[in-house]
Structure 1
Amino acid sequence: LSEEVGHGLEWVQGGETWRLGRPDWAIKGPVSPDPSDPVQSVFSREGSPLVGFRIQDDVRAGAREEVGALGLLGYEVHVLSGDRNSQVDAMVRRLGLAQDRGRGEMTPDEKAEWIRSHDAGHILMIGDGANDSLAFDAAGCRGTPAIDRGVLEQKSDFFFLGRSLSGIRQLLETARLHGRVTSAVLVFAVLYNLVAVSVCLVGWMNPLLAAILMPLSAIVSLGMATYGMGRHAPANTIASNSRP
């Protein structure tokens, strides 16, 4: 049994090939896609279809609201999928996205190429299957809800746990807050050093004053960071994954 990434599963036994996956891959010969045909997966034997499967997608509870909140924060949300265009169009409508934010019938290579052509270093990719592996390699940051499949979790920067999508927004908000706090601490450090150097140049510095100012600056910096980050509760649905 082997997997053809982006197409389906193939099993060869007794000289016969059995396939389960995309109709244009599982069925021998040309297949004319019909957008109105609800069959998205076919089980075939030697290229002859035996049974078709109708798959209906649904969005997670609160997904539309979370996608809208990400938009208000200035993030663009796109859907990259190997599913039919009709399915992807229906999904982006449910999420409240513009029609051009969804792209269907994409191969793993096409997903990765799309990311590379859209400032890959600033893209957060969320995926859950082996066909997202190449896109994961291209994205600057990546996360997955699939932690038991042995594929994407090894490449992920974090695991996305639970049913709600709010953890993604909380993670991005925390990252923004971290950036602001870091900038504030750096500004304080620069000002402190300018004042300390000035005091030294005019001859006012002495060992006692230095012994007071040095630990005091460290305490103030730590206090600024603790207070700043403490104003935002961390997401409890995100687990980090430290990759070498």
Structure 2
Amino acid sequence: MVKTKYQRAILKLSGEALAGQNGFGIDPATVRSITQELKEVHQLGIEIAIVVGGGNIWRGSIGAEMGMDRAQADYMGMLATVMNALSLQDALENLDVPSRVQTSIEMRAVAEPYIRRKAIRHLQKGRVVIFAGGTGNPYFTTDTTAALRAAEIEADVILMAKNNVDGVYSADPKTDQTATKFENLTHLDVISKGLKVMDSTASSLSMDNNIPLVVFNLNVPGNIKRVVMGENIGTTVGNKKN
């Protein structure tokens, strides 16, 4: 077995990561590319769980801005994450990687309901588990879902895969040329500096449960494998600076 830095990891994917260059919907070629990388990581013996967003299809916050009831709009966003999860599952199983989708809102015709002990058992049996439906509650993001599920399944790390962003910066590097990249941060730094890594609820949950976070660029081939192998890429966030 190859020695890896992490044995059980949660990969946080935004919905936009599945849209590719289209910016909307699900791009099959992009999904295949991501799942091919996941297969390589899976073959290392890493236990992988995925939390996927739904912003490529629907965002609850946008619905609320349009005048919709916020809770109703958020439930629609949860359904979007299920569509994304099913597309990931299909692509994984086309690569002969066993997987299970678990949803926080029951829809037994297409996925299992989320059961913590069952999710852990799937991971132990070498299956990739895809968590969909967010937390099952409105007003919470899929970032918070990632932190919550990581605590529940006792994951070693949250891998925060970003689109064309190679870490955490002091400002938006696309608009501010003076922005500097951080190699290491604490969760408290992220909260106090107001850095847009994950929402404050997710950051607090990660800090309270001592769950490290690695923010890296998903668009560089092989980066998921590099992170789990322990290469120093992106930005590492923990309770203590390295």
Settle same-fold status: TM greater than 0.5. no
Alignment TM-score, normalising by the size of structure 1: 0.38
Larger Cα Rg: Structure 1 or Structure 2? 1
Alignment TM-score, normalising by the size of structure 2: 0.39
Which structure exhibits the higher relative contact order, with contacts defined as CA atoms closer than 8 Å and separated by 6 or more residues? Answer: 2
Which protein is richer in helix relative to its size?
1
